[in-house]
Amino acid sequence: MIMTPRLFLTASVFCLLAMYLGSRSVIETINNPRDAWDTKGIAPEKVRVLQRTIETSLLAQQEARLFPDTVDVEGQQTADSLEMRLVTATRSITTQETPNEKTLRAFFTRHQEAYREAAVLTLKQVLYSSAVHGGSATEIARNALAASAQGVVPEGDQSSLQDHYTEISSIALGHLMGEPAAEAIVHLARQNNQLPCWAGPLRSSYGVHLVCVEHFTLGSVPAFEDVQLQVLNDWRYAITQDRSIETLQPGSNIPAKRQAIQSAP
């Protein structure tokens, strides 16, 4: 077929028109990819769901950074506020009075156990759980203690407590078993010439315990100079508490406990 000038011109126009429409379609696809996908059926629903999930996650992370947990923040602010109010109230009442060093040393001597550092223990413990044995836990523990004198090793119930603790402080032990139980164990170790093994029964929030203390180091009492400021605060607190007592000694306008403190040598 012979290409005439007129036919060539017509074909060229059609080619240019096709190229124009094609380029416009590409530009629209770039500018509006979602519309183009929807029209052609290329973008499935899973893609849109994934995109919304990512957007939601990013928004949640931004909110977490910008707006921390309101309950935690308010709780901390409340605790800090109460502590500050307590400190302020105590200072406004007690800072007016300062005892001489002799009185303060006497107060420290009478209450030196309160300033003793934590004891350190290595011990084994056996628990007879109240949840398992109910009111019979104490009796079962006593029977196990009696059997231990014949060489029978006590066996108790499983719990979150460990069977053996190595060089644990009495403070940490108190956090685990409760302060009354920890104090009872320290008392047993201090009052016996030989370390108690086995001894008890001792009660805690878990139930009833038998303990075997393998090693015990009593905490030392610090020098007065090292805790003088704390002793002063404690003395002031004691005086403030005593002033609130309504019962007075006959013929005196000073509460009995305060008079004892002030009259101490």
Closest by alpha carbon to 195, among 181, 215, 178? Answer: 215
- Residue 85: predicted pLDDT: 45
- Residue 181: predicted pLDDT: 94
Q: Which amino acid is at 255?
A: P
- Residue 194: predicted pLDDT: 83
- Contact (CB, 8 A) for 199 and 188: yes
Domains of the chain: 102-112+222-244+254-262 (no CATH), 118-217 (3.10.50.40)
- Residue 237: predicted pLDDT: 86
Q: From the CB of residue 52, how many other CB atoms can be counted at a distance below 10 Å?
A: 10
pLDDT tens string, the chain, 265 residues long: the values are 555 555 455 555 445 555 655 555 544 544 554 444 444 444 455 555 555 655 555 555 554 454 444 334 344 444 444 444 444 444 444 456 788 999 999 999 999 988 999 999 999 999 999 889 988 999 999 999 999 999 899 999 999 999 999 999 999 999 999 999 999 999 999 887 788 899 999 999 899 999 999 999 999 999 999 999 999 988 988 887 776 654 444 444 443 444 344 434 4
Torsion sign (Cα): 57, 60, 65, 68: negative
CA 4-10-16 angle, to 5 degrees, is: 135
CA 33-37-38 angle, to 5 degrees, is: 120
- Residue 8: predicted pLDDT: 53
